[in-house]
Amino acid sequence: MRLARWRLWAATGRPDLWCLGIGYGWLAAALALLALSWVTPLLAQGTATHAITVGALGTLTTGVVARVRLNRARQDPAATRTIPLMALLIGTAALVRVILPAHAPALALASGLWTLAMAALVVVFLRVPAR
């Protein structure tokens, strides 16, 4: 419901807002995966939990933190490419983790993608002056 009320289709030229929408999309998908893990042995509950923590919370947290930093510095969050990059890295990490939950190389890839996203957030903090 929240995604529909946001009317993201009308937010052209605002990739920062679309990334927040992606985070809420991850939350909806992750809750569906969690429900699936409760009724079938096909999906481990830990895998669904990773979709919530990595996909939803990771995307939303990095997006909101970067937007707040940019807004406080009076910079336009829509003009940065870092927020979509972080959303892509975290979303890919979550997807890899959900699709291949017990595969060690996939776990290493997901960890690396997550680390790159957090490094991008650090770059935002280093480049954008605090006020």
* pLDDT tens digits in sequence order for the chain, 131 residues long: 766 777 777 778 888 878 888 898 999 999 999 999 999 888 888 888 989 999 999 999 999 999 999 999 999 999 999 999 999 999 999 999 999 988 899 999 999 999 999 999 999 999 998 77
For residues 27 and 56, is the Cβ–Cβ distance under 8 A? yes
Residue 4: inside a domain, yes or no?
Answer: no
Tell me the pTM. Answer: 0.89
Residue 8: inside a domain, yes or no?
Answer: no
Residue 2: inside a domain, yes or no?
Answer: no
Compute the C-alpha angle 20/69/129, nearest 5°: 150
Range of the domain at 58: 14-127
Only one residue has tokens 């190389």, namely 105
Number of structural domains, the chain?
1
For residues 71 and 64, is the Cβ–Cβ distance under 8 A? no
For residues 84 and 13, is the Cβ–Cβ distance under 8 A? no
Residue 52: inside a domain, yes or no?
Answer: yes
Phi, psi of 37 (to 5 degrees): -65, -25
